[in-house]
Amino acid sequence: MKSEISQPEPPGLIIEYNHDLDVSDDFLVTYEPIRNALKDDRLLKRFNYFDAKAKSHKRSFHLFGLWSLLLGSVPLVIAAVRMVMGEPRFAGIASAYLLAELCGIASVCLVLLNRRKHHRILWCQAVFCRERLRQWHFQKFLNGPLIEKLVKNKTEYVSELNKRWANLEQNFHDGYGTMMEFTRFASRENNLYFNLANYSDQTIALMVFDAMQVLRFEHQLRFSQRKIEPDAEQNGLALKERTTVSETIASVSLAGAVLISALAALGSGAHWLHFTLPWDPLSFTRSLAGTALFLAVISAASRAYRAGFTLPDESESYDEYYGRIRELKAIFKVVPNDNERLRQLEALEEEAAADLRRFIRMKTRATFLF
C-alpha cells in the first residue's frame, strides 16, 4: 500500500506545458535511434531557466500594472463621489482627500518602478530566448543529414550540434539586440537555424515524421486550444471571455456616461429656462455629472486593462496560429512523399517564428497607464 502511494502521478490529470521538450522515457523508447535528438538535457535546463524568468517578470509586470491602474483610479472615483454627494456633505471627510492624493502618488510611483525594473522588456526577452530554444531544438529535424549522423556517426553529430549550440549561445549574449533584429526583420534567415535538407534514409525519416506529428504538430495545436478555450476552475476566464467582459464593461459604462451627461445637460437647460422641477436642478445636475464621471472612469480603466493584457490581440493571435497549424497538419498527413512532409515541417517552423514575432511586438506595446 505504501509503495502504491509513493508512485509518481500518472499522466492525464496534471497540466503540463513543455512535454514536447521534456519527453517521457516511454515515448523515447519507441524512437531509440533518435532518442538523443528528441530530448536534449542541456537545452532543457537552459529552457527551464528562461521559462522561470519569463513567468517571474510577467507576474511582476501585471502586478505592478494592475495596482497602478487601481490606485490611479481612486482619485477620479473620489472626485465623482464628491460631485454626487456635494461638497457640504463631503467636507467633513478630510481623510478622503488625503487618501486620493496618496493613491495618485502611489500609482505614479508604481508605474515608474515598473519601468525602472524593466519587467516588460525582460519578460519579452525571456520568452524570446525560451521559444527560440524550442524552435532551435525542433528545426534541427529539418536537416536530414544531421539527424542521420546521430544514427550512423554519433561523434560527428555531437561535434556539429555542439558547434551550432555555441553559435546560439553567443547570439544570446546580446539578447535584446537579437530579439529586436528578429522582431523587426522577418526573413527566412532570421526564422530558421537549420537549412532544409532531405533525408536519404527512409526509415529514419519515417521515425522523425511520426515523432514530429506528436511532439510538434499536436503539441502546438493543444497548447493554442488550451489558451483559447475557457477553463474557469484552473485558469479563470479564457482570453475570449476576458476580452468580451472587458469590452462589454468599457462600452456599456461609456454609453451610460454619455447618456447621463445628456440628461445633465437637459437638467441645466431646464434650470436656465426657469422650468419648475420637483427637485433642486443644480443638485440634480451635479449628481448626474458625478455619476457620468464615475462611469467614464470605469470605461477608461477597462480599456487600460485591455491594453495592459493586450486583449483582444492575443486571443486573435492564438486563433490565427491554431488555424494555420491545423491546416499544415492536415497537409502533412496526406502529402505523398517524405520530401513534401519535410517541407510542411519547415512551414510549421516558419509559422512558429512568425507567431513569436507577433507575440513580442504585441507585448512590447502593452501598457496599463503610460
**Does residue 270 carry a pLDDT above 70?**
no
pLDDT over 80 (residue 269): no
Sign of CA dihedral 126, 130, 135, 136: positive
Residue 301 reports pLDDT greater than 70: yes
Q: What is the pLDDT of residues 101-113, one digit of tens each?
A: 899 999 999 999 9
Mean pLDDT within 211-224: 94
Position 2 scores a pLDDT of: 47
Say how far residue 151 (Cα) sits from the centre of its chain: 38
Nearest one of 191, 49, 211 to 132, comparing CA atoms: 191
Query: Which bin fits 86, alpha (ψ -120 to 50), beta or left (φ > 0)?
Result: left
pLDDT of residue 151: 95
Measured CA to CA, the distance from residue 36 to residue 40 in angstroms comes to 6
Q: Residue 312, preceding bond cis, omega within 30 degrees?
A: yes
pLDDT for residue 8 is more than 90: no
Q: Which residues pair with 197 in a beta bridge?
A: 143
* DSSP structure class, residue 215: I
When mean pLDDT is compared across 79-88, 195-204, 339-348, the lowest value belongs to 79-88
Among 113-122, 132-141, 276-285, name the one with the lowest average pLDDT. Answer: 276-285
Separation of alpha carbons 283 and 37, rounded Å: 75
Q: Tell me the torsion sign for CA atoms 313, 316, 322, 328.
A: negative
Question: Long-range contacts made by residues 161-169, C-beta under 8 angstroms, separation at least 24?
Answer: 164/136, 164/140, 164/193, 164/194, 165/42, 165/43, 168/132, 168/133, 168/136, 168/193
The one-letter amino acid code at 265 reads A
Least confident of 9-23, 27-41, 81-95, 214-228: 81-95
Could you tell me how many residues make up the chain?
370
Asked whether the beta carbons of 64 and 110 are under 8 A apart, the reply is yes
pLDDT tens per residue, range 67-79:
999 999 999 888 8
Q: Which amino acid is at 249?
A: I
Residue 233 has pLDDT above 50, yes or no: no
Instruction: Output the CA torsion 29→33→38→40 (10° steps).
Output: 100
Is the pLDDT at 5 greater than 80, yes or no? no
> Which of the 8 DSSP states describes residue 32?
G
* Amino acid in the structure at residue 282: L
Q: In 140-276, where does DSSP find H-type helix?
A: 144-152, 154-172, 175-184, 188-191, 202-212, 219-228, 232-235, 239-272
Q: Where are the alpha helices (DSSP H) in 309-337?
A: 313-334
C-alpha span between 332 and 330 (Å, rounded): 5
Residue 58: pLDDT over 90? yes
User: 218: pLDDT confidence band, cut at 50, 70 and 90?
Assistant: very high
Residue with cell 517524405: 338
pLDDT at 130: 97
Higher pLDDT, 82 or 330: 330
Q: Would you say the C-alpha torsion 352, 28, 225, 305 has a positive or negative sign?
A: negative
Answer yes or no: is pLDDT of 370 > 80: no
Mean local confidence (pLDDT), 18-32: 94
Paired strand residues for 231: 236
Is the pLDDT reported for residue 169 higher than 90? Answer: yes
Percentage with pLDDT > 90 across the chain: 61
